[in-house]
A and B are shown apart, each in its own frame.
Chain A
C-alpha cells in the first residue's frame, strides 16, 4: 500500500525547493506525480482536454501553496486531493452545460486506452463518491489518507470501499464484461 513511501522524503525536499522558485524541483515532482493526477482526472472526467487542465491547475496550486503545506498528509495524497477537487468542479460544470461538449468521451484516445474497457464503462456509471473512493484507493494511499481527502474516518473508508468494489463488480457483471 505504501508504494510511494520511499519517495516521500524526496517529495518534501522538492516541495521545499519549490518555495524558493526552483523549477527543477517542480519538474521532479511533476514527473513523479503527474501520471496519477492525470489518471484520476481522466477517469473522473473522461475528457482528455479537461484532465490536462486539472493537471496544470494542480501543479500550479502546488507552486502557490507549497509554503502552506503542513505536512499532515503525503505530498502525493495532497496532490490527489487537489486533483479530485478540480475534477469535481469541472464535472459539475459539464453537467450544468457550462463546458463545451464536442470532445466528450475523448478518453478513448489511443494513448489512454486500457485493455479493461468494461471496467472503464462500469466505473463511469457509478455515483461520483463511489468512483472517487475507488480511484483514490487505486493510487495506493492508506485508509487514513483517503479519509483525510474525503472527510471520512478510516473505518468508514474501509466499509465504503468494500461496498464500492461490490458495486463496481456488479456493474461490470450487468454489462456482461466482467470476467473476473
Chain B
C-alpha cells in the first residue's frame, strides 16, 4: 500500500473514532450546529458511520417504545383513592391545629367565666350569650383552618353564614338557651362540617366534637353555681390538656415523632399558661 493512501485511510479511521461519541449525541439532538453539520457531512461520505448511526437510531426508537407503557386502569383507581385519603389525613392534621387553638380559646373563656360568676356575679344569660359567640368563633376557626385557607376554600360564603348565625345567636341566646344551643351547633358543626363532608367525611369528626363541646358548655356552664364553676378549674386544666393531646394523637396517625407533637403540646402549654395567669389574676382580685 502506498504510504499516501495509508495516511488517508488512517486519517479517515481516526475521524470515525473522533465522531463516534458525537453520533450518539446527534441522535439525541444534543450537538452544536457546527458539530452537527460535521457529523452529517462525514456520514454522507462514510458507510461505516452511516450504518452505525442507523443502528443507534433504531436502538433509541426501540428504547422509546420500551419506556412508554400504559399502566393497568386499576393503578389510577389506587392513586385516586390514596390521594383522597392523604388529603383527608392532611385535613385532620389541620383540624388538630384548629382544635388546639379553639380549645385553648374556650379554656380561657372557662376561666374568665368562672372568675366573673364568682367575683362579679354577672348575669348568667349574658355570660351564656358571650359563650355562644366564643363557640361561633371556634366554629369559624374549625371551618376555615382545616382547608388550609387555600384558594379552594369558600371563605366568603362560610364567613357570611357564620356571621348570620352569630347575629341570630346573640339575639336569641339571652332569652332561650335551647335556641342558643341550636345556633351554636349549626355554626360550630354544620356550616364548616358540611364543607368538610363534601371533601372527606373522616375529617369532620374532630371539629364537630369540639364544636359540640363548645355548645354544651354554652348551655351548661351558665347554669352551674359560681362555687361549682370555681371548683371546676383544675379538672378543666386536665380536660383541656387531655383533649388537645388526644386530638393530636387521633388527627394525624401517619405523622410520628416530634413534629406531630408540636401543635397539641403548644396548645396544652398555652392552656396551662393561661390557667396559671388567670388564677393569679383572680387571687390578686
- Across the two chains, which residue of chain B brings its CB closest to A43? B66
Size of the chain A interface, CB-CB below 8 angstroms:
49
The residues of B that contact A56 with a CB separation of less than 8 Å are 75, 78-79, 82
0/1 interface trace, chain B 1-26, chain A, CB 8 Å (1 if under)? 00000000000000000001101110
A34 touches B75 (CB 8 A): yes
Contacts A56-B78, A56-B79, A158-B30: A20 and B58 contacting too (C-beta < 8 A)? no
The residues of B that contact A88 with a CB separation of less than 8 Å are none
The residues of A that contact B66 with a CB separation of less than 8 Å are 39, 43, 114, 116, 119-120, 123, 135, 138
Task: Please tell me if B156 contacts chain A, counting CB pairs below 8 Å.
Answer: no
Task: Please tell me if A101 contacts chain B, counting CB pairs below 8 Å.
Answer: no
Complex interface: stretch among B83-91, B208-216, B236-244, B270-278: B83-91
Q: Which of A26, A51, A142, A180 contacts B30 (CB 8 A)?
A: A142
The residues of B that contact A123 with a CB separation of less than 8 Å are 63, 66
Q: Which of B58, B82, B199 contacts A21 (CB 8 A)?
A: B199
Q: What is the total of A-B residue contacts with beta carbons within 8 Å?
A: 127
Task: Please tell me if B70 contacts chain A, counting CB pairs below 8 Å.
Answer: yes
Q: Which residues A5-39 have CB closer than 8 A to chain B?
A: 19-23, 26-27, 30, 34-36, 38-39
The residues of A that contact B76 with a CB separation of less than 8 Å are 27, 30, 34
A1 touches B28 (CB 8 A): yes
The residues of B that contact A59 with a CB separation of less than 8 Å are 79, 83
The residues of B that contact A52 with a CB separation of less than 8 Å are 71-72, 74-75, 78
Q: Which residues A30-79 have CB closer than 8 A to chain B?
A: 30, 34-36, 38-40, 42-43, 48, 51-52, 55-56, 59-60, 63-64
B64 touches A26 (CB 8 A): no
Shortest CB-to-CB span from A83 to chain B, Å, is 10
Task: Please tell me if A159 contacts chain B, counting CB pairs below 8 Å.
Answer: yes
Q: How far is the CA of A172 from the CA of B78 in the complex (A)?
A: 37
Task: Please tell me if A82 contacts chain B, counting CB pairs below 8 Å.
Answer: no
B68 touches A35 (CB 8 A): yes
Contacts A1-B30, A20-B150, A38-B75: A138 and B87 contacting too (C-beta < 8 A)? no
The residues of B that contact A161 with a CB separation of less than 8 Å are 24-25, 28
Chain A interface mostly: helix
Q: How far is the CA of A43 from the CA of B54 in the complex (A)?
A: 24
Q: Which of B29, B65, B67 contacts A40 (CB 8 A)?
A: B67
Shortest CB-to-CB span from B199 to chain A, Å, is 7
B65 touches A63 (CB 8 A): no
A23 touches B83 (CB 8 A): yes
Contacts A56-B82, A138-B63: A21 and B69 contacting too (C-beta < 8 A)? no
Task: Please tell me if B41 contacts chain A, counting CB pairs below 8 Å.
Answer: no
The residues of B that contact A158 with a CB separation of less than 8 Å are 21, 24-25, 30
B69 touches A112 (CB 8 A): yes
Q: How far is the CA of A123 from the CA of B60 in the complex (A)?
A: 12
B71 touches A55 (CB 8 A): yes
A39 touches B86 (CB 8 A): no
Task: Please tell me if B59 contacts chain A, counting CB pairs below 8 Å.
Answer: yes
B20 touches A55 (CB 8 A): no
Q: Which residues A100-132 have CB closer than 8 A to chain B?
A: 111-112, 114, 116, 119-120, 123
- Across the two chains, which residue of chain B brings its CB closest to A161? B24
- Across the two chains, which residue of chain B brings its CB closest to A179? B58
The residues of A that contact B151 with a CB separation of less than 8 Å are 20
A168 touches B79 (CB 8 A): no
Task: Please tell me if B56 contacts chain A, counting CB pairs below 8 Å.
Answer: yes
**What would 10 A/B residue contacts be, using CB atoms closer than 8 Å?**
A1-B29, A19-B150, A34-B76, A39-B67, A42-B69, A116-B65, A120-B66, A135-B66, A158-B21, A169-B55
